[in-house]
Structure formats: structure tokens, C-alpha cells
Amino acid sequence: MRRTKIVCTIGPASSSAAELDRLVTAGLDVARLNFSHGTHEEHAEVIERIRAGEAGWGHPIAILQDLQGPKIRFGTFGPGGGGRVDLEAGRPFTLCARPVVGTVEQASITHPEYLKDLRAGDEIWM
């Protein structure tokens, strides 16, 4: 008995009934749906396709829903908010809880509540 499960991410190129059949025949045990992409309606259609195919496959297929977490983004940069700035490695940079127009010195973020977990001098990859 095989104990290892084969997980396949199902996307537009692999969500047709024919492709799902091919994946299950090749050993798919778990269908992963990435909720960072696609709509809930599209994912529901894929789940329906999988459930409909289970009778022919002779066994259930597990569904793994990879839920989208919060997207942490910067606020706007430059005059009018459509600009960009080039940051320099090692140069101090401040993340602000209040909305500010971003510069090479500071910027606001979409989830300021996360700032409480940071301390001055922490290294952040952007």
C-alpha cells in the first residue's frame, strides 16, 4: 500500500475533465486549488468536476484549498501616487501606519496592524 500522497495543483491548464482523468490515472490523490488565483465560482466548478469523476475513478479525491492570506502592499509613491522610487540597500526606511505618499525615506502599507510585530532596525525584504 502506498502511503505517500501525490498532490497536484489544479489550474486552467489542468482543470478539464479529460486532464483531471489523466492526472488521477497517473496517481493524483489530492487536488490543490490555489485561491490566490481564479474565482470562487471557477473553483466550485473544478470541485464539481472532481466529485463527478470519482465514481469512474473508484475512489475519492481529497481537495486542498490553499487560501489566500492578506496581501501586504505599499501605499502610493511620488506626486499623484503613480510614481516609483529606487531604494538603496542599507539606507534607513520607515514603514508608516498612517497613509503617506511614499518616498525613498518612508511609505505606508496596506496592513499597518503588522507594524506592531516589528522593531526599529529589523531587516525586511521588499
23 in any annotated domain: yes
pLDDT greater than 90 at residue 121? no
Tell me the pTM: 0.62
Q: What is the pLDDT of residues 38-78, one digit of tens each?
A: 999 999 999 999 999 999 999 999 999 999 888 888 998 87
Q: What is the pLDDT of residues 1-39, one digit of tens each?
A: 788 999 999 999 999 999 999 999 999 999 999 998 999
1 in any annotated domain: no
The per-residue DSSP string of 58-82 comes to: TS--EEEEE-------B--BSGGGB
2 in any annotated domain: no
**Grid coordinates in use for 79?**
506626486
Residue 87 and residue 116 in one domain: yes
Instruction: Answer with the one of 20, 48, 66 that is the final residue of a domain.
Output: 66
Residue 55 and residue 103 in one domain: no
Q: How far out from the chain centre does Cα 73 lie?
A: 13
Residue 46 and residue 77 in one domain: no
Q: What is the pLDDT of residues 70-107, one digit of tens each?
A: 888 899 887 776 788 888 888 888 999 999 999 989 99
Residue 61 and residue 12 in one domain: yes
120 in any annotated domain: yes
Instruction: Answer with the one of 66, 99, 114 that is the final residue of a domain.
Output: 66
Residue 112 and residue 97 in one domain: yes
Residue 95 parent element (H or E): strand 94-96
How many CA atoms lie within 13 Å of 77's alpha carbon, on the beta-carbon side? 14
d(CA 35, CA 66): 6
36 in any annotated domain: yes
Domain hosting 23: range is 7-66
State the total domains in the chain. Answer: 2
**Grid coordinates in use for 24?**
488521477
46 in any annotated domain: yes
87 in any annotated domain: yes
